[in-house]
Structure formats: C-alpha cells, structure tokens
Amino acid sequence: MTENALSVTALGQKVAIPQHPDQAILEKVPNPHPEDAYVARFTIPEFTSLCPVTGQPDFAHLMIDYVPGKWLVESKSLKLYLFGYRNHGAFHEGCTVQIAKHLIELLAPRWLRIGGYWYPRGGIPIDIFYQHGELPGGVWAPEQNVAHYRGRG
C-alpha cells in the first residue's frame, strides 16, 4: 500500500492484477467534501479468495460502507487490491477483517463497516462483520440488505 495520495498510478492505466493483496497499490485521493459527513459504499458481489487448507476457491459478497474524513479510496486501486485476494489463502474472517484494517490504515475514516457474506463451505455459510468507530450523528447508513444464503431450490 502507498501513502502517496497526490498521484494515482492505476487510474487510466493498464495495470496487471496483483497476485497477492500485499502486492497491490491501494491509493487514496482527497475528499472533495471533508466538512460533510456522508456514507460511501462499495458493493463487491463476486469477491474470491482461496481456502488456506484445501486451496479451493471461496466466494463472498462484500459490502464496505465508510464515512470519509480527509481521504477517499481510489476505486480502481480498491478493485485491483481486492483482485489480489484471488490467489491469497486465508480464512473468511482473515480476509474480511484484513480488508477493513487496510482501509482504516490508509484512510483514517470517521467510521467504517464491512459485511462479508460468504457462500457455504461444508454446508455452512459464514458471515463476518467488522466496524470501526461510531456512525456520526445525523448520518444515514442504509442497511446492507445482502440476501442470506438460502440453499438450492
């Protein structure tokens, strides 16, 4: 991850997909409205990583909500960072919480939450929720409303 917030390296460029999240360049840009409290949301319906035991793919629907302070995450760098998990072996809890912590470290948001809605492994879906800070008063954060896994049929 980079602390360089004034130049974005991926936007408008052809960039290779990182093979690991630690190889990604997660970037921030100045918030054009730092005086206002508002929620920015990223919905990632096709997130993938690898099971660290079997090496088989794991699939999740991630939802990231945050109230920015001085910084916004640059969306293309976020997309490439998340692609880096495709070859990364970690449990659901590890991936979900690591993503939140990387964003908190980079952005210092006023508030952040992530919902990781993982598809079943061994017949049991695992949902992971992480929150940093308190939602500022008067700010509307809509429910995540990700459909729970209902099985086949």
Q: Give me the mean pLDDT over the 100-105 stretch.
A: 98
Does pLDDT of 30 surpass 50? yes
Res 114 pLDDT > 90: yes
Tell me which of 98 and 125 has the higher pLDDT: 98
| Of residues 74, 66, 64, 73, the one with CA closest to residue 43 | 64
- For residue 153, the model assigns a pLDDT of 36
**Whole-number average pLDDT of the chain:** 90
pLDDT in tens, 36-71: 999 999 999 999 999 999 999 999 999 999 999 999
Active site (annotated) includes residue 58: yes
pTM of the model: 0.90
Going from the N-terminus, what domains does the chain have, and what CATH number goes with each?
29-132 (3.30.1130.10)
User: d(Cα 150, Cα 137) in Å, to the nearest integer?
Assistant: 35
Distance CA 115, CA 31 (A): 23
Question: What local confidence, expressed as pLDDT, does residue 151 receive?
Answer: 52
Of these residues, 22, 36, 58, 65, which one is catalytic? 58
Q: What is the mean pLDDT of residues 99-117?
A: 98
First and final CA of the chain: distance in angstroms?
42
The vertex-42 CA angle with 121 and 78, nearest 5°, equals 90
Pairwise CA distance, residues 38 & 22, whole Å = 29
Beta carbons of 111 and 136 less than 8 angstroms apart: yes
| Residue 36 backbone phi and psi in degrees, to 5 | -100, 140
